[in-house]
Amino acid sequence: MQVVTTIAGSDSGGGAGIQADLKTFQELKVFGTSVITALTAQNTLGVSGVMPIEASFVEQQLQALLEDFSISAVKTGMLFSSAIIQTVAQMTANTKVPLIVDPVMIAKGGESLLRQDAIDAIINHLLPVATIVTPNIPEAETLTGKEINTLADIKEVAKLLLQTGVQCVIIKGGHLADRNFAIDYIFFKNGQSFSMQTPRIASKNTHGTGCTFSAAITAFLGSGLPIKEAIIEAKKFIQLAITYDLALGNGHGPTNHFAYQNYKETCEVIIHES
């Protein structure tokens, strides 16, 4: 049994954060462990409170896992503070385990999940030791200070992010203007790149999509899939999770983590190599 770890915030509403990650790991048949960086009081309507955990206790949680398990992949989500980011970067750098960084900044409702001073820490400490980073368009803009309007902008921003040392950049196009497709752009350090396209689903139930997508990449990589296959299978996982939503809550509801196992043969992802 492969063991994987999520380092993220708790979402009491169960659709994002640690809860989304562990559900994804379970569905993809890897053993999930977790390091909690913050508690959020949250539901499908928004975040009503955030209680960060001390960086030293984040360290203690991760240390406990590293001392006992052979971990095959690690992901990060909400990290909240520069102190937590630096702790996680130092500790994961020594492990040589694939590290997937979802640079979570704000919740769908607009509440901040990352302190402003922590952006520099992501660039200077975390990305140099990361395998994959998965920003959406606003996150990629914040990390690089560049505005993104066109595909040329996406390529330029990916190049800047690759300069930090991260091996693969996935820029998620969910926030782009295209009404028909959800297209993600993937760039590797060796110059290779490709895009993945699926039909855009008109749904308000997209709470935790970024968490779930990056958790699925982590599970597939941790299970031994090559990086490109892991990314494509994760795109199927999130596409099906949005398609077969559960209609829970009164706001932006969670996605359906059960859908992939039932419908994976039915999901087509269009790949364009470049």
- Give the active site residues: 172, 206, 208-211
Distance CA 253, CA 45 (A): 8
Residue 184 binding result from ligand ADP, ligand MP5, none, given CB thresholds of 5 to 8 Å by partner type: ligand ADP
Pick from 16, 71, 73, 161 the residue near ligand MP5 by CB under 6 A: 16
- For 197, list phi and psi in degrees, rounded to 5: -125, 135
Pick from 108, 125, 172, 257 the residue near ligand MP5 by CB under 6 A: 108
Write down the residue that tokens 């949250």 correspond to.
Answer: 42
Residue 108 binding result from ligand ADP, ligand MP5, none, given CB thresholds of 5 to 8 Å by partner type: ligand MP5
> For the residues of 204-268, what is the DSSP string, one character each?
S--BTHHHHHHHHHHHHHHTT--HHHHHHHHHHHHHHHHHT----SSSS-B--TTHHHHHGGG--
Q: How far is the CB of 108 from ligand MP5 (least distance, A)?
A: 5
Pick from 52, 98, 210, 222 the residue near ligand ADP by CB under 6 A: 210
Q: Name the nearest CA neighbour of 212 among 264, 258, 269.
A: 258
Containing H/E element for 72?
strand 71-76
Residue 201 binding result from ligand ADP, ligand MP5, none, given CB thresholds of 5 to 8 Å by partner type: ligand ADP
Residue 46 binding result from ligand MP5, ligand ADP, none, given CB thresholds of 5 to 8 Å by partner type: none
Write down the residue that tokens 């990449």 correspond to.
Answer: 217
| 48-63: burial string, b at 16+ Cβ within 10 Å, e else | eebebbebeebbebbe
Angle at 234 between CA 174 and CA 191, to 5 degrees: 75
Pick from 77, 98, 135, 253 the residue near ligand MP5 by CB under 6 A: 77
Please work out the total of residues on this chain that contact ligand MP5, with binding judged by CB under 6 A: 18
Residue nearest to ligand ADP (CB): 174
Contacts of 271 (CB under 8 A, 6+ apart): 194, 195, 196, 197, 232
Q: Does 14 bind ligand MP5 (CB under 6 A)?
A: no
Pick from 17, 52, 103, 173 the residue near ligand MP5 by CB under 6 A: 17
Q: Name the nearest CA neighbour of 212 among 3, 15, 60, 13.
A: 15
Site for ligand MP5, residues 154 to 213, rule: CB under 6 A: 207-211
177 is written with which tokens? Answer: 């203007």
Q: Does 242 bind ligand MP5 (CB under 6 A)?
A: no
Q: Measured from the CB atom, is 115 or 200 closer to ligand ADP?
A: 200
Q: Does 209 bind ligand ADP (CB under 6 A)?
A: yes
By CB under 6 A, name the binding residues for ligand ADP.
136-137, 172-175, 182, 184, 198, 200-201, 203, 206, 209-210, 213, 235, 238-239, 242
By CB under 6 A, name the binding residues for ligand MP5.
8-9, 11, 16-17, 40, 42, 77-78, 104, 107-108, 113, 207-211
